[in-house]
């Protein structure tokens, strides 16, 4: 796995870890709700959704970062597979976010772009 792939996989993982913090730990703050929803008038059921979604982001981040760690811990095949799967997951989720609501293009770009760069670099 080349260095560009590794760097952007870790960046993608850090972006998703930040999303975990925002969604699972800080989502009750109105300023955080505005970032994700554009407003701070949230229905009670949204809190559970955001909490759960944050953990998805944490787990996929662990895959990307853990894959890079495994690659350097004498498990190159498993590390590469885990890293590329997590990046593909992130990139696909970013596409789904954009297709579901094009107004969320910034979030979709932040979610998908680092992972796409990692995947493109892996193919080069």
Query: d(Cα 48, Cα 112) in Å, to the nearest integer?
Result: 24
Residues recorded for the chain = 124
* Residue whose C-alpha is closest to residue 86's, from 70, 97, 104, 102: 70
* pLDDT one digit per residue (tens) for the chain, 124 residues: 999 999 999 999 999 999 999 999 998 888 888 887 777 788 888 889 999 999 999 999 999 999 999 999 999 999 999 999 999 999 999 999 999 999 889 989 999 999 999 999 999 8
Q: How far is CA 13 from CA 28, 34, 35, 41, in A?
A: 23, 23, 20, 29
Q: What residues have CB less than 8 Å from 57, skipping those under 6 apart?
A: 16, 17, 19, 20, 23
Is residue 95 classed as helix, strand or coil in its secondary structure?
Answer: helix
């Amino acid at each position: 796995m080349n260095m560009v792939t590794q760097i952007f996989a870790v960046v993608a993982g850090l972006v998703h870890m930040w999303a975990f913090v925002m969604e699972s730990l800080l989502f009750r703050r109105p300023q955080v709700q505005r970032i994700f929803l554009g407003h701070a008038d949230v229905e009670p059921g949204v809190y559970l959704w955001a909490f759960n979604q944050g953990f998805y982001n944490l787990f996929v981040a662990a895959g990307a970062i853990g894959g890079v760690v495994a690659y350097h811990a004498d498990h190159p095949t498993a590390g590469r597979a885990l890293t590329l799967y997590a990046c593909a997951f992130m990139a696909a989720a970013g596409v789904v976010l954009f297709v579901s609501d094009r107004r969320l293009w910034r979030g979709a770009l932040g979610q998908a772009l680092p992972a796409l760069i990692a995947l493109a670099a892996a193919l080069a």
